[in-house]
Structure 1
Amino acid sequence: MTTPPSVAARPLPVGTVAPEFELRDQNNRRVSLSSLREKGDVLIVFFPLAFTGTCEGELGHIRDHLPQFDDDSLTTVAVSVGPPPTHKVWSAAQGYLFPILSDFWPHGDVARAYGVLDDERGFANRGTFLVSRDGLIEYSAMVGPGEARTTETWDAALASRA
């Protein structure tokens, strides 16, 4: 049985200006959306929590297909409310070579800004956003806890690149 997303959670629609953020990655380095956009498009993948099977599977898909998700004009980042030390241990154990960003404090502010925070549970739903170099959301989708993104979701997000 899947749990539906929080009623209040509504992902930002395509065509919206992506909210700027600056978060710390698993190595405690600051990463901002604007700096990522200097390279090109940015795929932002919100996930609920580290060390969970569905999240490991989804981020494992990115890891196993990294050339599709990280090239000269695309950067993929994953975002969770977990703290950087947790993300460091988890990403090292799983071999994730892409940034895992911490939306820990203020708790869930970036997920909230993108409309994917589940306020009742205190973590993000599985939001997927493709942000173009000019800062517009080109792809937007969300599934709730217990639901995994499908291959079709990944394909559609990557195909939305202009």
Structure 2
Amino acid sequence: MAGEGLSVGAVAPDFTLPDANKAPVALSSFRGRQPVLLVFYPFAFSSVCTGELCQLRDELAAFVDAGVQVLAISTDTSQSLKAWGTEQGFQFPLLSDFWPHGEVAKAYDVFFDKAGMALRGTFLVDVDGVIRFAEVNGPGQARDQVAWQRAVTALVLSRS
């Protein structure tokens, strides 16, 4: 499997990936403006990923209210992400790390080479591009999103 993911305190590697509409989204475009929650997941349309991202969709207001941009990343194609995002009503960008295959997941040390997919890596990146929360779960292990919300709250409080 992949490694343990990047550590808290590391500088988040910049990237530019196409969203579901093939528009480029760069992590660096948020630097100096707002924190970003990066949510890597294995595959669109899979049951655990759908459950996790639907929970994120349903609780998105907590992140938006805190000024955090959510970016969800998988190795699926943009076309697949568009169909899935439309079906599920996701209101945050779904980014395609399809080609070069898994390069961003590799940069964050969450690429599962044997299966050609990202693990469930979650990284909260502050406005300076530093990782303030990091978590990596295996393919079948759903994440506890309460930890993300605590990390966002702590980040917001530290900026106050």
Tell me if both proteins adopt one fold, taking TM over 0.5 as the criterion.
yes
Q: Secondary structure at 2:56's aligned position in 1? A: helix
- Candidates 109, 131, 135, aligned match of 2:125: 131
Map 1:85-124; keep pairs closer than 5 Å. 85-124=79-118
Aligned length: 156
Query: Match of 2:136, as an amino acid?
Result: M
**Distance change in 2, residues 1:37/1:71 (3 Å):** farther
2:20 equivalent in structure 1:
26
Q: Is the 8 A contact 1:139 1:160 kept in 2?
A: no
Q: Secondary structure at 1:76's aligned position in 2? A: strand
Percent of aligned positions that are identical: 46
**Separation in 2, partners of 1:151, 1:45:** 11
Query: Match of 2:97, as an amino acid?
Result: D
The two structures have a TM-score, normalised by structure 1, of: 0.91
Q: Secondary structure at 1:70's aligned position in 2? A: helix
Query: Once superposed, what is the RMSD of the aligned Cα atoms?
Result: 1.3
1:113-151 CA deviation, whole Å, 9 max, x = no partner?
A: 001001111100000000000010000000000100013
- Structure with greater helix share of residues: 2
1:43 equivalent in structure 2:
37
Q: Unaligned 5+ residue runs, structure 1?
A: 1-5
Query: Match of 2:131, as an amino acid?
Result: I
1:63 equivalent in structure 2:
57
**Separation in 1, partners of 2:114, 2:42:** 13
Query: Match of 1:70, as an amino acid?
Result: V
The alignment status of 1:158 with 2:152, answered yes or no, reads yes
**Separation in 1, partners of 2:36, 2:113:** 25
**Separation in 2, partners of 1:51, 1:157:** 27
1:3 equivalent in structure 2:
none
Q: Secondary structure at 2:133's aligned position in 1? A: strand
1:50-101 CA deviation, whole Å, 9 max, x = no partner?
A: 0011101111111101111224721001000001010000000000010000
The two structures have a TM-score, normalised by structure 2, of: 0.92
**Separation in 2, partners of 1:155, 1:72:** 10
- Structure 1 stretches of 4+ with a deviation exceeding 6 A read none
